[in-house]
Structure 1
């Protein structure tokens, strides 16, 4: 990891931004309204937080997609998944991270880890259980949570270990093996992949969750995919690598084809009649012990 990234991580974990301290005063109130909190010095190092029920609620941390170059934490607001998780008493955080091309995918992975570490460090004040945290990501966010959940350097850089997570849910990712995705994946996405991962095969491998799936890993994974050729094959390959390492993993195919299905798994998750909702709810309940 670059020295600049390490500096930002140290700042984010050891010395929360002044804005974060101010916002925490509002978070400590019993209301479950959304609060926006900074976890670092960059404007994109911020998260939206909804408190759970009780003083030690399980925490779901959501990482948005957008091709590593766009997207925003605000997509959680008013969503079916937020309503579903809140109804179950979970605390929810939706995070932003620095974006390509101004920043790198390495910076993004560092930001995901830093956000989780900051939330965990404030668990008593936020009313969350530091031992019950699950990462959830969609699309590029699925790649990032899988990377943070398989390559220990990212959480280690933020003062955590992979075992500090309860698990990882990846929603229809397709870049778990970056070199393969760049050679065999959707032609329309090749410019996005080159912008994010460059042309250096060593760097591409280093940013591939499948190539880090030998132990240690996060304690468990739920991998969901729709009917997309690259998403299906990449998910199954990652699942096979995790199973080879004796890491508990569940893989489920969700109805929905192509780009439309890819978008629906994010937009519809949490709706009672959407098939992925029951799968995610069951898996979270098992991981959280509820």
Structure 2
């Protein structure tokens, strides 16, 4: 009910235009694409990000950075965004959706020069550096950045929020990330998925066979004593085994003192739980996510 009220308030405000005698300029929604780095031979689109912001850039706003899914091999920053754009516009956040290099599709597990881990996470970190450096000119507050990812993108943000080497390599740290929201992934333990998962070829295509490297690529195995991690939001769903992977990650985070919010979105399918975010009247995932980001940006 509270979220529905928010939407109605936002709709009324967004439909207001400057009339005779008004002193306030209308807020204009803007959209721009930026290339965050260049690699010879790689499509500019794969190394770019989209920023959704407003004409009011004087008051710095929190930033939510979205990383799309697609098995690390398909997908695009423009997919499944309509509800999210509306939601974060209403919340007065700057919303950024990023692309990254993709592993081959169809799979090429014998191609030793293919894009695979850690390439995807390196790109995410480089995109975050661009955002941290440039977002102020688009009305964003670089000190209030949170991550949101679905499926393979949920793995990428979870690893960015647990393995500090990616952020450290670009001069940032885990302290620069205020929260991480993971929407429906079973890839918290990559090594387990490579060895025993139902989508082994997809994981091998994106990560390879090596146990050592695959544990390095697993958010579960990067939670250690003595590190300070951002808060996490975990949306889980599906069969008991799939939920168990999320629960193991949640329990491990909590055992190290990390704040975790969680929801069971099993009423949705894999795509549906992602599309639900910001959907009109949706409360199961959207309301707790709104609360999570609000806490991150306090």
Q: TM-score range by the shorter chain?
A: 0.7 to 0.9
1:56 lines up with 2:67 in the alignment: no
SS in 1 for 2:149: strand
- 1:149 and 1:217 in contact (8 A); partners too: no
Instruction: Identify the residue that residue 23 of structure 2 maps to in structure 1.
Output: none
Give yes or no for contact 1:256–1:262 (8 Å, CA) kept in 2: no
Q: Give CA deviations for 1:74-109 in whole Å, capped at 9, x if unaligned.
A: 1154x1121011111000000000111342220110
C-alpha separation between the residues in 1 aligned to 2:252 and 2:217? 15
- The alignment status of 1:118 with 2:120, answered yes or no, reads no
CA distance 1:41–1:235, shift in 2 (3 Å):
same
Give 1:203 shift: 1.1
Contact 2:116 2:205 in 1 (8 A): no
2:244 alignment partner in structure 1: 233
Indicate the residue corresponding to 2:297 in structure 1: 288
In 2, distance between residues paired with 1:256 and 1:82?
23
- 1:267 aligned residue (261, 275, 283): 275
Q: Secondary structure at the match of 1:221?
A: strand
Residues 162 and 216 in structure 1, CA contact (< 8 A), matched pair in contact too: no
Unaligned 5+ runs, structure 2: 1-26, 105-113
2:72 equivalent to 1:72: no
- Please, what TM-score do these two structures have when normalized by structure 2? 0.81
Q: Where does residue 33 of structure 2 map in the other structure?
A: 36
1:229, distance to aligned residue in structure 2 (A): 3.3
Aligned residues of 2:189 and 2:218 also touching (Cα < 8 A): yes
Q: In the alignment, what sits opposite 1:95?
A: 98
Residue 202 (str. 1) matches residue 202 (str. 2): no
CA distance in 1, matches of 2:263, 2:91: 22
Aligned 8 A contact 1:105 1:196 in 2: yes
Q: Distance in 2 between matches of 1:106 and 1:217?
A: 22
Deviation at 1:62, TM superposition (A): 0.0
TM-score normalised to structure 1 length: 0.83
The 1-side partners of 2:144 and 2:239 are apart by: 32
RMSD between superposed Cα atoms in Å? 1.6
Runs of 4 or more above 4 Å deviation? none
> How many angstroms does 1:217 deviate by?
4.5
Q: Deviations over 1:143-183 (max 9, x none)?
A: 00000000000000111010111110000011111122233
SS at match of 1:286: helix
Matched, 1:105 2:117: yes
Q: Return closer, same or farther for 1:62/1:37 CA change in 2, 3 Å cut-off.
A: same
Contact 2:194 2:209 in 1 (8 A): no
Larger fraction in helix? 1
Distance 1:282 1:108 in 2: 29
Change (3 A) 1:160 1:140: same
Matched residue of 1:33: which SS? strand
Match for residue 87 of structure 2?
Answer: 84
Q: Tell me the residue number matched to 1:167.
A: 179
- Aligned residue-pair number: 254
- Cα separation, 1, equivalents of 2:154 and 2:229: 14
Q: In 2, Cα distance between the equivalents of 1:230 and 1:68?
A: 22
Give the Cα–Cα distance (whole angstroms) in 1 for the partners of residues 267 and 203 of structure 2: 23
